[in-house]
A = this chain, B = another copy of it.
Amino acid sequence: MDTHSRQMAQLEEQCRQAGKKLTPIRQQVLQLMLQHPQPQSAYEILQAYQSRYNPKAQPMTVYRALNFLEEIDAVHRLASTRQYVVCDHLGREHTHHGFTQFLLCDRCGGLQEVEMEQAVWQKLLAEAAIYHFTPNASAIEIHGVCGQCQNPA
C-alpha cells in the first residue's frame, strides 16, 4: 500500500470516528493536496480542482471541503500565510499531542511540522498562565529559512 493510499485510508477512518461523511468532493480535495506537499492557498487548490475535476467549481466548494478536512484534523490551515497543508500525521501511526510547531521557510515556501517538546509547551503554558491566559489553539508558526535553502547542495 503506497503512502497516498494509506493517507486516504486514514482520512476515511477519521471521518468514521468523527461520524462525518467522506464525500467525493472532500476526498478529491485531499487527493489534490496529497499530490502537492507544499502548503497551498485555497485559491490555488481551487484552480487545481477546476483543472482536474470540475471547471465550474466555486470558491465555496473548496473552502467547505478545507474547513471540513481541518475539523477532522486531516489538514492544517497556516494562519500566517493563509495556506493549507496535509497534516504530517495523516497515514502514520502517531497523532497530535500537545503543541505543534510549524517551521515555514520564507525562501522556498516549504513547511516542516514538528511536535513540540512537552517541556517547551509546558513552559509556554506556564508563562501564559501568569497572565491568567488559557490557550486553546495548540500550534505556533515560526518563519525562517530551512536547511535546504541555507545549504543548497
Residues of B contacting A101 with CB < 8 Å?
124, 127-128
- Closest residue of chain B to A143 (Cβ to Cβ) is B137
Tell me if A35 is interfacial: C-beta within 8 Å of chain B: no
Tell me if A52 is interfacial: C-beta within 8 Å of chain B: no
Q: Report yes or no: A142 in contact with B117, Cβ–Cβ below 8 A.
A: no
How many monomers of this chain does the complex have?
Answer: 2
Tell me if A80 is interfacial: C-beta within 8 Å of chain B: yes
Tell me if A8 is interfacial: C-beta within 8 Å of chain B: no
Q: What are 30 A-B interface contacts by the 8 Å CB criterion?
A: A79-B79, A79-B80, A79-B141, A80-B80, A101-B127, A103-B128, A103-B131, A103-B133, A105-B133, A114-B127, A114-B128, A116-B127, A119-B123, A120-B123, A120-B127, A123-B123, A128-B144, A131-B146, A132-B146, A132-B150, A133-B142, A133-B146, A133-B147, A134-B150, A135-B142, A135-B143, A136-B145, A137-B142, A137-B144, A140-B141
- CA of A138 to CA of B147, assembled, Å: 18
Q: Report yes or no: B119 in contact with A131, Cβ–Cβ below 8 A.
A: no
